[in-house]
Amino acid sequence: MKIHEYQAKEILARAGIRIPEGRAARTPDEVAAAAEALGFPVVVKAQVHVGGRGKAGGVKLAASPDEAKAHGAAILGMDIKGLTVQKVYVERAADYAGELYLGVTLDRDRRRPVVMLSTVGGMDIEEVAEASPEKIARAWPNPLFGLMGFEARELCLAAGVPQAQRAAVAEIARTLYEQYFATDATLIEINPLFILRDGSIMAGDAKLDVDDNALHRQAALSALKEVSPDEQAEERARELGFSFVQLDGDVGIIGNGAGLVMGTLDAVRNAGGNAANFLDVGGGAREAVVKAALEIVLANKRVKSVLINIFGGITRGDEVAKGILAALEETRPRVPLVIRLSGTAAAEGRALLQSARLASRATMDEAAAEAVRLAKSA
């Protein structure tokens, strides 16, 4: 589960990490009022459950109430990676000389949380990790001991944090590592961690993803759960027991079985396209399931074609076909569908689909190629 920057910052602040003064706002007038109360310059920041807001135009500096209000009006309602901005955070702007990156997440290879620190802050850390991995220093503390003082100092040294800031950054790293556990986070990140002109340190951004499986013991964090209209499909998928992950392509995917769906994503990529989601409906694929899956996939406005990939095992192909046809009676999709059916009673299933003039293909690669072609020509 994701929470907003301003909520994550409050948690950091309570743990003793310095943050700028700020207020959340829902209307341009509230933005102007908050800005006036805080004092200028301020920064107006979109609060959506996705990163890269700066690049998308969702973070803007303002020097006057009018400018703050105008930025508020522009950012509220903005679409950032498929999410509509409903709240902004207005902060006293930081006057900074440098930006660091600091984060803790699980390193599955090492089977331990990893602390990452870099002097290349403010940027997309995935890009840094790809282009110049040597610029990110890492430590894998023993979770029973926590991030020890000497380890934190070593980390700062390895990252090239200026001497004057090492002690302060080391302390923040230790706090963040503690908070990673205290909040049952899967990711906790400060990017940028500002080095202010006076040499002190302040968190410029905060990201906290909580492990869904730990929400039962994180009452305070659970209360922050917010399902925006754009995230409702994802929430619904979870309720129905589907495995669902939103991706950023335009070919909607429905399949039965996690391995099959992963294979489908590869097939789409091999055909030169990009999947819009991962959706595994699990074992069966009867009418109600297909209908729900279609609605979830089509709720994503970027979807230009849908690829349904079902392998009939215990589920018979003709039943799947009937499920799809019944679902289509009710849900009239706005984009073309391509269906790949194989396995038990696949031929009967394909015959049913053909009689309804639905595009079906015998192999996954053919179906993927067709779905990609349709998405591109849409």
Residue 133 binds which of ligand GDP, Mn ion, none (CB < 5-8 A, kind-dependent) = none
How far, in Å, CA of 190 to CA of 185, rounded? 13
Q: Which residues pair with 190 in a beta bridge?
A: 102
Backbone angles phi, psi at 213, to 5 degrees: -75, -5
Distances from the Cα of 133 to the Cαs of 35, 126, 180, 268, in angstroms? 39, 9, 23, 29
Binding status of residue 5 toward Mn ion by CB under 5 A: no
Q: Which does 102 bind (CB under 5 to 8 A by kind): Mn ion, ligand GDP, none?
A: none
Interatomic CA distance for residues 376 and 250, integer angstroms: 9
> Known catalytic residues?
101, 189
Beta bridge partners of 24: 89
Question: Applying CB under 5 A, does 191 fall inside the site for Mn ion?
Answer: yes
Distance CA 38, CA 304 (A): 45
Q: Does 93 bind ligand GDP (CB under 6 A)?
A: yes
Query: Which 3 state secondary structure label does DSSP give 256?
Result: coil
Q: Which is nearer to ligand GDP, 52 or 259 (CB)?
A: 52
Least Å distance between CB 372 and ligand GDP? Answer: 30
Orientation angle between helical segments 364-377 and 258-270, nearest 10 degrees: 60
d(CA 159, CA 247): 32
98 near ligand GDP, judged by CB under 6 A? no
Stretch that binds ligand GDP, among 30-38, 44-52, 289-297, 326-334 (CB under 6 A): 44-52
**Looking at the chain, which runs of residues are DSSP E strands?**
22-25, 42-46, 59-62, 79-80, 83-84, 88-92, 96-107, 112-118, 136-139, 185-196, 201-203, 207-210, 243-246, 251-255, 277-280, 305-312, 337-343, 359-361
Query: At closest approach, how far in Å is the CB of 46 from ligand GDP?
Result: 8
59 near ligand GDP, judged by CB under 6 A? yes
**182-241 positions binding ligand GDP, by CB under 6 A:** 191-192, 204-205
Q: Which of 22, 28, 51, 323 binds ligand GDP (CB under 6 A)?
A: 51
Q: Which of 247, 251, 287 is nearest to 364 (CA)?
A: 251
Residue closer to ligand GDP by CB (options 99, 370) is 99
Check residue 189 for interaction with Mn ion (CB under 5 A).
Answer: no
Among 3, 43, 169, 299, binds ligand GDP (CB under 6 A): 43
Q: DSSP state, 216?
A: G
If binding means CB under 5 A, how many residues of this protein chain bind Mn ion?
2
Q: Which of 67, 91, 205, 319 binds Mn ion (CB under 5 A)?
A: 205
Residue 281 to residue 237: CA distance in whole angstroms = 9
Does 52 sit near ligand GDP (CB under 6 A)? Answer: yes
C-alpha 205/C-alpha 191 separation (Å) is: 5
The item of Mn ion, ligand GDP, none sharing an interface with residue 59, based on CB under 5 to 8 Å by kind, is ligand GDP
Over the window 107 to 146, marking each residue x when it contacts ligand GDP by CB under 6 A and - when it does not, the resulting string is ---------------x------------------------
State the minimum distance, in angstroms, from the CB of residue 132 to ligand GDP. Answer: 18
Contacting residues toward Mn ion, per CB under 5 A: 191, 205
Contacting residues toward ligand GDP, per CB under 6 A: 43, 45, 51-54, 59, 61, 91, 93-94, 99, 122, 191-192, 204-205
